[in-house]
Structure 1
Amino acid sequence: MNVELLNPLAEAYAEQFSGTQDELLQEVAAYTYETHPHAHMLSGQVQGKLLTMISRMIRPLRILEIGTFTGYSALCLAKGLTADGLLYTIELREEDARKALNFFNKSAVKDRIKLQVGNALEIIPALNESWDLVFIDADKVNYINYYEIVLPQLNRGGFIVADNVLFHGQVLGKNVEGKNAKAIHAFNTHVKQDSRVEQVLLTVRDGLMLIMKK
Structure 2
Amino acid sequence: MKADLIAPAVAQYLLEHSTSPDPLLEELAKETAQATGGNAGMQISPDQGLFLTMITQLIAPDVAVEVGTFTGYSSLCIARGLSGGRLHCFDVSEEWTSIARRYWAKGGVADRVTLTLGPALETLAAFDEIIDLAFLDADKGNYPGYYELLMARMRPGALLIADNTLRRGHVADPARNEPTTVEIREFNDLVIEDPRVTVLMLPVADGMTLIRKNP
More deviation, 146-155/95-104? 95-104
The equivalent of 1:148 in structure 2 is 148
The answer to whether the Cα contact below 8 Å between 1:165 and 1:184 also exists between their aligned partners in 2 is yes
CA apart distance, 1:117: 1.4
CA apart distance, 1:109: 1.5
CA apart distance, 1:175: 3.4
CA distance in 2, matches of 1:95, 1:14: 34
CA distance in 2, matches of 1:46, 1:106: 21
CA apart distance, 1:19: 1.0
CA apart distance, 1:33: 2.6
The aligned runs of 1:119-130 (5 Å cut-off) are 119-130=119-130
| Residues paired across the two proteins, number | 211
More deviation, 149-158/38-47? 38-47
User: Secondary structure in 2 aligned to 1:125?
Assistant: coil
The equivalent of 1:72 in structure 2 is 73
Q: Which amino acid aligns with 1:19?
A: T
Work out whether 1:89 is the aligned partner of 2:89. Answer: yes
The aligned runs of 1:56-67 (5 Å cut-off) are 56-67=57-68
CA apart distance, 1:152: 1.2
The equivalent of 1:46 in structure 2 is 47
User: Secondary structure in 2 aligned to 1:79?
Assistant: helix
CA distance in 1, matches of 2:7, 2:41: 16
| 4+ long deviations beyond 3 Å | none
The answer to whether the Cα contact below 8 Å between 1:135 and 1:161 also exists between their aligned partners in 2 is yes
The answer to whether the Cα contact below 8 Å between 2:4 and 2:206 also exists between their aligned partners in 1 is no
**CA deviations over 1:123-148 (Å, ceiling 9, x no partner):** 11222111000000000001111001
**CA deviations over 1:132-189 (Å, ceiling 9, x no partner):** 0000000000111100111010011000000000012221212340111111000100
**CA deviations over 1:13-59 (Å, ceiling 9, x no partner):** 22211112223212111112333221112112111111111111111
The equivalent of 1:179 in structure 2 is 179
CA distance in 1, matches of 2:57, 2:74: 14
CA apart distance, 1:11: 2.2
Q: Which runs of 5+ in 2 are unaligned?
A: none
User: Secondary structure in 1 aligned to 2:75?
Assistant: helix
More deviation, 98-107/197-206? 98-107
The answer to whether the Cα contact below 8 Å between 1:14 and 1:46 also exists between their aligned partners in 2 is no
Work out whether 1:206 is the aligned partner of 2:212. Answer: no
* Alignment RMSD: 1.4
The answer to whether the Cα contact below 8 Å between 1:58 and 1:80 also exists between their aligned partners in 2 is no
Q: Which amino acid aligns with 2:57?
A: R
Q: Which runs of 5+ in 1 are unaligned?
A: none
**CA deviations over 1:48-97 (Å, ceiling 9, x no partner):** 111111111111111100000110000111122222x1101111122111
CA distance in 2, matches of 1:96, 1:11: 29
CA distance in 2, matches of 1:11, 1:110: 33
CA apart distance, 1:12: 2.3
Task: Provide TM-score, normalisation by structure 1.
Answer: 0.94
More deviation, 35-44/154-163? 35-44
